[in-house]
Structure 1
Amino acid sequence: MLTASRATWFAVTFAFAVPSMLLMFRDNGELTRGTWIQSLAFAAGIAAIIAISLGKGKP
């Protein structure tokens, strides 16, 4: 269930994960369309896992 706590955790984690994923997946220092897609997908996955595990849901 989506709560405000989980949405906040997702947003914060996503904001920190995207730049680090861009650094990991860049091709020879260039940011391509594929790099952006991979980075956004991985960052969303990481943010979802963190939001589920640290966010508070209804008991």
Structure 2
Amino acid sequence: MASIRKFVHEFNSLGLPLNILINNAGILSLHFMLSKDNLEQHFAINYIESEAMLWMSRID
């Protein structure tokens, strides 16, 4: 999530409009692993981080 916050902050500082956002990150993991944010990695990358990118880009 820290990398998403950093990207959104840097993008917003450019002052450019965000007309299109394509969330194309995803993984398929057969093993249970935790993300740095202590979330199940598959769920964190495939869902949480995509939603976070969308909402942070609208708010910040």
TM over 0.5: no
Provide the TM-score with structure 2 as the length reference: 0.32
More helix by share: 1
Provide the TM-score with structure 1 as the length reference: 0.33
